[in-house]
Structure 1
Amino acid sequence: MTHVAILTPDPADASYGELWPKVLARLQRALDGVGITTTPTSWTGHIDDASGLQDYARVLPLLTWGYHQDHVRWLRACRTWEQAGLPLANPAQVLAWNSDKRYLGELAARGIAIPATTWTDHLTREQLDAMFDATGADELILKPSVSGGAWKTRRLHRGDAIDALPDGTTMLLQPYLPSIETAGETSLLFFGGQLSHVVNKRPVPGEFRVQEEFGGLYNVLDAPSADALALANQVLAAIDSTLLYARIDLVPDADGRWLLMEAELIEPDFYLGKDPRQGAGFAQALRDAIDADR
């Protein structure tokens, strides 16, 4: 058997304690078919010393939920893992880079279509009004640059009060795309660089967040549109790193042009419950990556 480590949430954070073992069990069922066993271990137990992870064939940060609330230590851990040369999937520098949504600006500079975005460390009424005026949007989305699962994400109308933010809290300001309510968000799952499956996610009426905890409605698609697939492949090429897995989240604008919302490269939900192959594509990609090292 081949042994891999799965990095899990900080045990001090009880909010994930009941869920992550169930997700791990689903992953393990997929990995059973290719002779891989998993050992769960908290990422916070390896921040300054990677020696406890050195003997695994791969280290996967697939359950590091909550890292965004401990971002300074997350970046420190990524540096430790990179310096130790851990066989991480995905690479440590990618894990650090992808943990701050300012990466979207870098991808935009490489030609990737994203929603109009303003980054700010000191949100002002003038910035909000300028974004409303520049985009013609009826509503805006405000979210932290370091976040996950719609954490502290707000939907704003013109004139809404804005809460004071701690100094140094970088925020993203984007126009709200009403197409999220009609066309939804489409996630393309890639394992070993190959498209595995495609899931469309829509919010329930009156909601704008598509996460399951907010009632999001998920459906597997037979295939993505050609334009959506082209943008997803363009994103992967722009990242220019060997990735074991990636989830590319896209939304069409009012004109039907696909835009990148997120490239999830750390701990994305693979939606294996919707995957027609139940994770076999991921398992085989991991098996192939490990075998290629031998």
Structure 2
Amino acid sequence: MPHICILTAAPDYFEDSSPARANYRRLLGDDISFRHWTDPGDLTHFDLVLPLLVWGYQRDCPRWFALLNQLEQQQIKIANPVSVLRWNSDKSYLLALEQADVLVVPTMISAALTVKDLEQAEQKFGTDALVIKPPISGGADGTYRLKTGESLPEDMAGKTMLIQPFQPAIAQEGEYSLFYFDGHFSHAILKRPAKGDFRVQEFLGGSEARIDCPVGVQELAVQARRAAEQMLGVETLLYARVDMLRDPDGHFRLMELELIEPSLFFEHAADGGAMFAGTVQAKLCQDA
């Protein structure tokens, strides 16, 4: 019987992964294994490794990239592939997608963030509110909203950071997430932050609801996914979550393309995640 391993967060990570583990057991069977990504042991005997719960990898980048190198060297059967995981770890991929004509949230990169960088970004984007975040980040780690005149957070000064104009729609309308398995659309949700916040993560008070896709949303999602596949030389991504929002002019813009450890919100899928399970089984048969 094919043996599947899902890589999970470090033992001391703050967020409880047991509900997600239960979901994956329900979909993939009780015999799947779970290994902490920080100390996964020997993975060579698994038929498929999935990094779906490697939460917190951004907190130990050297160890994360060392693991990716190890997986590559040992030719571990992993999906999405190591080349995709490495590329998707750094959110500067947004600039590459923009070069491929994907409409993304406008983004600048500062190699060593200063107040002058923020002033230049305000002028470039024509805004008095910015969002800054590390290029390798997750779970809103190191993410700040800054208005003109507010102090630069000490822990971010001098670090490599992404700078983006704050998008009011995140609080007014929400963030759209679309889910694809082996290139096929599964479901979509709308995530909203808690009142007074702009971060949509559940542990920060965010909420989500299943929705039908507005006009233009799927088109952008497919364009972004296909652009990434072409860039990376991958025929089809096993799984992808595409996050986007509406800009002040009414255009949908890509926020993130989640190809490593996206929450997949199976509770909002009409089939409860059956498409995902079928995709994994098809991958196993293909590689057998």
**TM more than 0.5:** yes
Which residue number corresponds to residue 55 of structure 2? 65
* Separation in structure 2 between the aligned mates of residue 204 and residue 185 of structure 1, nearest angstrom: 12
Paired residues of 1:121 and 1:167 also in contact (CA < 8 A): no
Which residue number corresponds to residue 227 of structure 2? 238
| Aligned partner letter, 2:251 | R
Which residue number corresponds to residue 142 of structure 1? 132
- Aligned-residue offset at 1:169: 3.0
Corresponding position: 1:284 with 2:273: no
- Aligned-residue offset at 1:166: 6.6
Q: Deviations over 1:79-132 (max 9, x none)?
A: 111121111010011111111111111111111111221111211222111211
Q: Which segments of structure 1 move beyond 4 Å, counting only runs of 4 or more? A: 165-168
* Separation in structure 1 between the aligned mates of residue 100 and residue 184 of structure 2, nearest angstrom: 22
Which residue number corresponds to residue 9 of structure 2? 9
Q: Give the TM-score normalised by structure 1.
A: 0.92
Of 109, 121, 127, which residue of structure 2 is paired with 1:119? 109
**Which stretches in structure 1 are left out of the alignment for 5+ residues?**
none
What are the equivalent positions in structure 2 for 1:1-294 lying under 5 Å apart?
1-11=1-11, 13-16=12-15, 19-32=16-29, 37-46=31-40, 52-165=42-155, 169-222=159-212, 224-240=213-229, 241=234, 242-294=236-288
Secondary structure of residue in 1 paired with 2:180? strand
Secondary structure of residue in 2 paired with 1:15? coil
- Aligned-residue offset at 1:217: 2.0
Q: Deviations over 1:17-37 (max 9, x none)?
A: xx11221111111223xxx73
Q: Give the TM-score normalised by structure 2.
A: 0.93
Q: Deviations over 1:36-65 (max 9, x none)?
A: 73100111224xxx7x11111110001111
Relative to structure 1, is the Cα distance of residues 217 and 166 closer, same or farther in structure 2, using a 3 angstrom cutoff?
closer
* Separation in structure 2 between the aligned mates of residue 143 and residue 226 of structure 1, nearest angstrom: 29
- Aligned-residue offset at 1:167: 8.0
Secondary structure of residue in 1 paired with 2:141? coil
| Aligned partner letter, 1:158 | T
**Which stretches in structure 2 are left out of the alignment for 5+ residues?**
none
- Aligned-residue offset at 1:145: 0.8
- Aligned-residue offset at 1:236: 1.0
Secondary structure of residue in 2 paired with 1:234? helix
Relative to structure 1, is the Cα distance of residues 111 and 146 closer, same or farther in structure 2, using a 3 angstrom cutoff?
same
Root mean square deviation, CA, Å: 1.6
- Aligned-residue offset at 1:289: 1.1
- Aligned-residue offset at 1:168: 6.9
Relative to structure 1, is the Cα distance of residues 292 and 14 closer, same or farther in structure 2, using a 3 angstrom cutoff?
closer
Paired residues of 2:108 and 2:162 also in contact (CA < 8 A): yes
Aligned-residue identity in percent: 39
